[in-house]
């Protein structure tokens, strides 16, 4: 461990001491929690020095320690027996066939596995995009305004009263405002609504092929994996988890596919893991609370229109069933 710390010193965004301190005090934690959060620089690698164009090279973020996060997680901001559900809400006609039908059950199961203690419910009938503001992207495909999707989540899913947070899922390209070219996803922590898009994760997107028109799932595994990570990233924002500036993890902010901090495993999300273990026996979701800094959106991946890369920051009755990964994935 000492050698690993010495080797990493000087090549990390935050010092090793700061990374250790960010985990908080573990002396009084349960054995499971201590084992989960034990400092292991081979598995939980500190973030390196950001490169030109990376999120952290262009955006000043102070980070969020576990202690800071834990202080925010006080009732009524945390999930409870009355608000114990992550609600997944498909948008658009594309969920009636093709890749969306294959991917959606996997997204539901991944979300259940990740957010231990929470119920995960998927709305059976996709919400319509017909009345939402849109424009055309560079390939002539419809691109929908995120604000209208957030409005629909707040007004058209009120019957799901146990929903702690609501995440829109769409095959369509999305954007948060006229000055932006696109984003992969975005969340508003104070309202606990978010959305993410399959569109630009598709290996065929930049060939001009709409996600619903993909003829084969030969490269579907990478597409699905990227979609899962974006889904969980945005959901964690709704649970009050900010971008991580300490370790390589799912919650790193990133400026899209070229960002050196954007290629990492989700299992570096120690704040969720630590809280999830300690709450698991109580029948509640691990993370809760709200992020500070007002109601602005946070998310992942995107560019402003000038071309500068930035990031925005099983219930009865459901027809979805768990399926195994198919051979084409």
CATH code assigned at 138: 3.40.390.10
Residue 179 is assigned to a structural domain of this protein: yes
Alpha-carbon distance 187 to 9, whole Å? Answer: 34
Alpha-carbon distance 273 to 257, whole Å? Answer: 26
Mean pLDDT by 10 residues, the chain (329 residues): 46 90 81 79 87 89 88 88 97 85 94 96 96 96 98 97 97 95 92 95 93 84 93 95 92 79 51 41 28 43 46 29 28
pLDDT reported for residue 314: 29
Residue 273 is assigned to a structural domain of this protein: yes
Q: Quick one: tokens of 165? A: 């947070």
Tens of pLDDT, residue by residue over 188-202, are 999 999 999 999 999
pLDDT reported for residue 298: 59
Residue 296 is assigned to a structural domain of this protein: yes
Number of domains making up the chain: 1
pLDDT reported for residue 143: 98
Residue 77 is assigned to a structural domain of this protein: yes
Any bridge partners for residue 163, and if so which?
A: 85
Residue 35 is assigned to a structural domain of this protein: yes
DSSP state of 153: H
CA torsion angle 71 40 263 79 (round to 10): -30
Domain coverage including residue 127: 2-304
Share the mean pLDDT of the chain. Answer: 79
DSSP state of 126: P
C-alpha pair distances (Å), 265 with each of 8, 30, 86, 182:
19, 25, 22, 24
Tens of pLDDT, residue by residue over 316-329, are 222 222 222 222 22
Q: Quick one: tokens of 231? A: 């889904």
Tens of pLDDT, residue by residue over 291-313, are 223 334 555 556 555 433 333 33
pLDDT reported for residue 313: 32
Mark residue 327 as left, alpha or beta (left: phi above 0; alpha: psi -120 to 50; beta: remaining).
alpha
Alpha-carbon distance 22 to 16, whole Å? Answer: 10
Handedness of CA 241, 245, 246, 250 (dihedral sign): positive
Residue 85 is assigned to a structural domain of this protein: yes
């Amino acid at each position: 461990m000492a050698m690993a710390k010495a080797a990493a010193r000087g090549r990390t965004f935050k010092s090793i001491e700061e990374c250790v301190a960010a985990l908080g005090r573990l002396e009084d934690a349960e054995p499971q929690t201590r084992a989960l959060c034990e400092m292991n620089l081979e598995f939980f690698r500190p973030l390196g020095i950001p490169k030109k164009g990376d999120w952290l090279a262009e955006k000043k973020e102070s980070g969020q320690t576990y202690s800071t996060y834990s202080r925010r997680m006080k009732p009524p901001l945390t999930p409870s027996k009355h608000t114990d559900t992550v609600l997944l809400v498909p948008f658009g006609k594309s969920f009636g066939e093709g890749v969306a039908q294959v991917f959606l059950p996997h997204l539901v199961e991944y979300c259940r596995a990740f957010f231990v203690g929470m119920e995960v419910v998927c709305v059976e009938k996709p919400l319509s995009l017909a009345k939402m503001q849109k424009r055309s992207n560079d390939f002539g495909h419809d691109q929908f305004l995120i604000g209208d999707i957030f409005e629909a989540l707040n007004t058209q899913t009120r019957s799901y009263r146990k929903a702690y947070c609501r995440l829109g899922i769409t095959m369509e390209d999305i954007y948060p405002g006229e000055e932006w070219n696109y984003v992969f996803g975005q969340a508003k922590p104070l309202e606990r609504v978010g959305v993410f898009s399959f569109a630009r994760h598709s290996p065929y997107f930049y060939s001009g092929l709409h996600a619903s028109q993909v003829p084969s799932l030969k490269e579907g595994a990478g597409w699905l994996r990227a979609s899962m990570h974006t889904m969980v990233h945005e959901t964690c924002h709704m649970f009050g988890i900010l971008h991580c500036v300490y370790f390589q993890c799912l919650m790193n902010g990133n400026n899209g596919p070229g960002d050196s901090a954007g290629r990492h495993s989700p299992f570096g999300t120690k704040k969720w893991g630590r809280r999830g273990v300690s709450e698991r026996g109580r029948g509640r979701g691990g993370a809760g609370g709200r992020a500070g800094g007002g109601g602005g959106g946070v998310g992942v991946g995107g560019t402003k229109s000038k071309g500068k890369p930035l990031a925005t920051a099983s219930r009865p009755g459901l027809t979805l069933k768990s399926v195994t990964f198919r051979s084409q994935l």
